[in-house]
Structure 1
């Protein structure tokens, strides 16, 4: 029997430390080779740490949210020779049926002392009741399937040791709420379920709720919080909102999608906005810049690198379409789709998530009427897209239905005056309302 230490490996890109964002095991769990032990995050990439051997978890070297240096001890595992003792839990000897076993008595004629139960505070139970407890509990679990704490068909998350204990107790893990990371079922959850039984069916009507759940802010969510706090505390924002008639643009977009080649992606509104921003930036280069407020230097970029705020299962990320000035409308759409898919899948490279000089934020149909977007520090401008709605518009003689949309754009007021912000947005407005101008040569 030996002890194996799993250290945080060198995960490349010159990273000296990583944040522990999730444990997949706990002390006492039995793990096989390649079982995922933990997940760590560097910048915006999440890396899973597998177990190199089979063994029992003896010790965990950090808590969720801690910064772990590369090479430091992460997990200690107890291994046994060829690990056969861990590959399969030892089988229990079957017990004879309670009814067939004669009652054992001490020489004095008194009943022999019973072995201590697993929990000292649990009174001994008759053997017949213990023999029938498991099937009864399993039947109860099947009857309560419709009241399960997770959707039917969703596989409950639990370590091998928890699954083994539940199986021996005749419990259906689908009926047990999990309090661990990502809803993982822990030994404490089993204890609570065994002590109190399944939750009763929810009674109709309103109920008082008094519990408070403490959720530690870690990983990508913590990075987002830090960056938003930095941007809001250091950048004096000015937000400018303008209404845009996109009726002609939507008609053009529909026509282009109907006539597009198979190799081309479907056009959304964003590629048109990206091309309009490139044209407007050529006239207002000060909005396509990074402001080093400590050095007092504004870095105006010739290349237009547009960050696209993208919602992912892990949180908000900003993949970057590099050199948009060199892409046509179809090129913008192709690169936009590729980066958005990579960001949502968590496979975007580090260089694809950095280097933006100006950002677009859009919630599509959820975009609301107006918003006040926060600038992506150290940029100086962000363009927010609100949802398109059909509104009655006065054309001089009558009200006509038009497809209208607001742009809500924020600027760093230290380096962008209100007049310059208005000129920039009005230029975008003119291009989007007369979309043929987007395709004209510079």
Structure 2
């Protein structure tokens, strides 16, 4: 008899959901986590980062307040106050996640676990546990490149623990993490330089929206250096950094943050001992049912390197638990996954971009609305929003919605349902506008 029906390695979003649902179906479940319950999203990712985004928005809101009749005589930002409040919220969420597992009778082992066979796990303490099934949900970590002096740089993990707000920060990368932190640090008063090894930002997002974000960011004062790489990082006696660059002049900074990708956490996991095949990028290979090459071992979330998004990991964990412990066969649908960049302003999209639609469908119609939000007009802020509908010209189906502007991610979540439901442009046109809102532009495009 095995000790457990299921042992989950990693208590992040996917692992916690799988453990909770499996236990709810009556399985005896254990979960092992060497760091903190909650994983990347809750502890050092999307949740604390979004709280920083909220904090950063006050910089512009306080500036705009005067035009709305508010007298704000002084404006001073205190980084340690926000940092400590965010970390306190993270601790609260960790406790909540732990309580959720405990309430579902999931046994938690706060130590590292390694597979020593296809149905056996050995904890760091030496204790061995057996299970009918093992689920790997160890996530991924920031990739730090091999650059001389890389020990002087930080990743997104360390951002939330900085002792002081840097006056000058260089951010390496062109993806959503790099662009989000560029906006955050700029609003907090730092001079931001974003360095990208290519000339492409936010690959996979609609190019017209990316261009708009770039224009707005440059106008705000964020510097961009494209086709540029790092030769070495030097720490000076005064604590500042000298960045020796290839493709641009050298840069002086107080901090350098690398956000150039993430690597699955598979080291010392015991994949070979369990018979689990690992891909060229370190990802664990799985089939449509999240099963690895070992029949008793499964994997969900970022460690599989399919779609590195928290809601996807949660869906995968739920599907795994329902399929194998609830007798409810379920597979994750990876089509029409909405995503957002919490930049300043934020952008969001779902479905095909204009370029993807032209390549795949050939005949398309594109509807756009380029406008200034009412709030920006009164505040005197010359920042324009852009909404776009991509439509299959043959069927009239909306195959993509993309937007940049205030609250774009909040609006897109509801709009994504329309793309998933394969609604037509005529359905949007037949819907009465909710006025005055920015979202009404979605049904007013002609």
- TM-score relative to the length of structure 2: 0.22
Q: Which has the higher contact order (CA 8 A, sep 6+)?
A: 2
Query: Which has the larger Rg?
Result: 1
